Amino acid sequence: MAVTATALSIAVLILGVFTRLTDAGLSCPDWPGCYGHFSWLTDPDAIARAERLYPDNPIEQQKTVVDMVHRYTAGVLGILAIALAVISWLRREDEAYPFRLPTFILFLMVWQSLFGMWSVTLQLWPQIVSLHLLTGMVTCSLLWLLTLRLSGREWRLSPDVMGKLPGVKSWLLAVITVTLLQILLGGWTSANYAAFACTEFPTCQGQWWPEMDFKNGFNLTQTIGPNYLGGKLEGEARVAIHVMHRLGGLIVGLLMVGLAVRLFTIKSTQFRCMALIMLAILTVQITLGVSNVFLMSPLLTALMHHLGSVLLMLVLVTLGARTWTARLE
């Protein structure tokens, strides 16, 4: 069940990005239904009634389908999260069973649902959209952690390797923290439609440090009320967001390379394999990020870029889980 929930959470994340990139996030003006129904509308009479009820939101059927499929998938994931939490509480006397983790995941799922609702009712307010993405990413990571914990598998390491784990843990905590911040920054870039602010790489608008408006680009007190579909920021503010996302990617990349070098110094096949996997995904992720700039973020490339960030987080969680549960051979 945890494996299924993890896979479903990845699907929810990708569907959420697809909904965003196809401008379907406000195709249903209400929540949790769509124009007062719990499915997309196909009957002409129902469509006519819905458009009279919401005269400022004409129905675009293809977009409503995308939006509702995303909501349905998230709903099934919520049911699985409830089931995992119930099972954990039934087994709370079992010391080997991680019963607190499923409860915390369910807590995050409740907030994720609220952020999903507020994304619609607050008309894609960037603060909520960014937190919605971050919470979804953390939920997915914790579901994978639960899967690893339930597997009961532990690495058996030599005393020499065990002695090097404290240094690995420090690196790993730093990389995970910065990666989550970069994901949040990526959500802020998307929510403010700043992905197209720079159309070349590595420079932006022909300069290494173009004119940027950090004050408005990172203004967290933006007004609640207007429709943020398409973004409200001026060019220099969007450039500031885009450039900072690039710099964040550079920092994450350097830290991951540093972590990989640290892992390669350990005489352990497990750690070296994890380093190779992390570097391979990082290379693909950087390539996709640069391609998004040159190709103006085509749908498939943008989706793959998002999937790359998910896979990087899962690799880091796997490495963390195996490192913290390692035992002497």
Q: Are 120 and 107 spatial neighbours (Cβ–Cβ below 8 Å)? A: no
Q: Quick one: tokens of 28?
A: 């249903």
Judgement on whether residues 165 and 272 belong to the same structural domain of the protein: yes
Judgement on whether residues 68 and 95 belong to the same structural domain of the protein: yes
Judgement on whether residues 206 and 120 belong to the same structural domain of the protein: no
Is residue 264 scored above 90 in pLDDT? yes
Cis peptide before 202 (omega within 30 of 0): yes
pLDDT tens, residue by residue, 235-254: 899 999 999 999 999 999 99
Judgement on whether residues 119 and 216 belong to the same structural domain of the protein: no
Judgement on whether residues 147 and 165 belong to the same structural domain of the protein: no
Judgement on whether residues 134 and 197 belong to the same structural domain of the protein: no
Judgement on whether residues 174 and 214 belong to the same structural domain of the protein: yes
Which domain-ending residue is among 109, 129, 152? 152
State the Cα–Cα distance between residues 283 and 309, nearest whole angstrom: 12
For residue 126, give the nearest of 197, 219, 54, 195 by alpha carbon.
219
Residues 290-308 have a mean pLDDT of 85
Task: Collect all residues with Cβ–Cβ distance below 8 Å to 283 and sequence separation of at least 6.
Answer: none
Q: 152 falls in which pLDDT band (50, 70, 90)?
A: confident
Which domain-ending residue is among 88, 121, 152? 152
Q: Which of 129-138, 167-176, 248-257, 298-307 has the lowest mean pLDDT?
A: 298-307
State the Cα–Cα distance between residues 67 and 64, nearest whole angstrom: 5
Q: 297 falls in which pLDDT band (50, 70, 90)?
A: low
Task: Please give the single-letter amino acid code of residue 40.
Answer: W
Q: Is the dihedral of CA 266, 268, 271, 273 positive or negative?
A: positive
State the Cα–Cα distance between residues 225 and 262, nearest whole angstrom: 49
Judgement on whether residues 40 and 118 belong to the same structural domain of the protein: yes
Which domain-ending residue is among 134, 152, 170? 152
State the Cα–Cα distance between residues 124 and 18, nearest whole angstrom: 15
Q: Is 20 exposed, middle or buried (0-12, 13-18, 19+ CB in 10 A)?
A: buried
| Domain range for 45 | 1-152
Judgement on whether residues 283 and 178 belong to the same structural domain of the protein: yes
pLDDT tens, residue by residue, 111-124: 999 999 999 989 99
Judgement on whether residues 189 and 322 belong to the same structural domain of the protein: yes
Q: What is the per-residue pLDDT for 137?
A: 96
Judgement on whether residues 36 and 164 belong to the same structural domain of the protein: no
Residues 191-211 have a mean pLDDT of 90
Residues 177-199 have a mean pLDDT of 92
Expressed in percent and rounded to 5, the helix, strand and coil fractions of the chain are 70, 0, 30
Is residue 42 scored above 80 in pLDDT? yes
Percent of the chain clearing pLDDT 90 (strictly above): 65
Judgement on whether residues 216 and 328 belong to the same structural domain of the protein: yes
Q: Are 74 and 113 spatial neighbours (Cβ–Cβ below 8 Å)? A: yes
Is residue 262 scored above 70 in pLDDT? yes
Q: How many domains does the chain have?
A: 2
Q: 174 falls in which pLDDT band (50, 70, 90)?
A: very high
| 34 bridge partner residues | 37
State the Cα–Cα distance between residues 306 and 204, nearest whole angstrom: 22
Is residue 183 scored above 90 in pLDDT? yes
Task: Find tokens 């009961």 and name the residue.
Answer: 152
Q: Please provide the average confidence, as pLDDT, over all residues in the chain.
A: 91
State the Cα–Cα distance between residues 28 and 122, nearest whole angstrom: 13
